[in-house]
Amino acid sequence: MGPDLRKRWPAYQFPPLGSSSAKSPPGRAEPSGILLLSLPVFSGRFLLLLPATPQPHCRPPRTPEKNRGGVNLSILPVDMEHALWSSGASDKNKSMVEQLQRYGIIRSSKVAEVMEAVDRGLFVPPGGSPYFDSPMPIGYNATISAPHMHAACLELLEKNLQPGMRALDVGSGTGYLTACFALMVGSEGRAVGVEHIPELVATSIENIKRSAAAPQLNDGSLSIHIADGREGWPELAPYDAIHVGAAAPQIPEALIEQLKPGGRMVIPVGTMFQELKVVDKKLDGTVSIRDETSVRYVPLTSKEAQLHAN
Ligand X SMILES: C[S@@+](CC[C@H](N)C(=O)[O-])C[C@H]1O[C@@H](n2cnc3c(N)ncnc32)[C@H](O)[C@@H]1O
**What are the catalytic residues?**
145
8 A C-beta contact, residue 35 and residue 24: no
Q: Is residue 121 part of the contact set for ligand X (CB under 6 A)?
A: no
Q: Is residue 67 part of the contact set for ligand X (CB under 6 A)?
A: no
Q: Is residue 298 part of the contact set for ligand X (CB under 6 A)?
A: yes
Q: Is residue 173 part of the contact set for ligand X (CB under 6 A)?
A: yes
Could you say which DSSP state residue 248 is in? B
Q: Is residue 197 part of the contact set for ligand X (CB under 6 A)?
A: yes
Q: Is residue 193 part of the contact set for ligand X (CB under 6 A)?
A: no
Among 143, 203, 258, 274, contact with ligand X (rule: CB under 6 A): 143
User: HSE of 237 in the Cβ direction (CA atoms, 13 Å)?
Assistant: 16
Stretch that binds ligand X, among 60-68, 93-101, 125-133, 192-200 (CB under 6 A): 192-200
DSSP reduced 3-state for 207: helix
Amino acid at 71: V
Rounded to a whole number, what is the largest CA-CA distance in the chain? 55
Show the beta-strand stretches assigned E in 67-195.
71-72, 136-139, 142-144, 166-170, 190-195
Among 180, 194, 213, 242, contact with ligand X (rule: CB under 6 A): 194
Distance CA 234, CA 31 (A): 47
Which CA distances in Å does 37 have to 40, 47, 79, 150? 9, 6, 17, 23
Among 76, 246, 255, 295, contact with ligand X (rule: CB under 6 A): 246
Stretch that binds ligand X, among 84-92, 138-146, 158-166, 210-218 (CB under 6 A): 138-146
Instruction: Compute the least distance from the CB of residue 267 to ligand X, in Å.
Output: 12
Q: Is residue 200 part of the contact set for ligand X (CB under 6 A)?
A: yes
Q: Is residue 182 part of the contact set for ligand X (CB under 6 A)?
A: no
**Toward ligand X, which CB reaches closer, 58 or 236?**
236
**Toward ligand X, which CB reaches closer, 83 or 170?**
170
Distance CA 224, CA 175 (A): 8
CA 62 to chain centre: 21
**Total residues binding ligand X (CB under 6 A):** 26
Distance CA 207, CA 57 (A): 33
Stretch that binds ligand X, among 15-23, 92-100, 156-164, 194-202 (CB under 6 A): 194-202
Which CA distances in Å does 214 have to 51, 120, 187? 34, 14, 11
**Toward ligand X, which CB reaches closer, 239 or 297?**
297
Amino acid at 94: K
Instruction: Compute the least distance from the CB of residue 299 to ligand X, in Å.
Output: 7
Q: What is the DSSP string of 8-36?
A: HSGGGEEPPTT-S--PPPTT-PPPTTEEE
- Residues forming contacts to ligand X in the complex (CB under 6 A) are 140, 142-145, 171-174, 176-177, 194-197, 200, 228-230, 245-246, 297-298, 300-301, 306
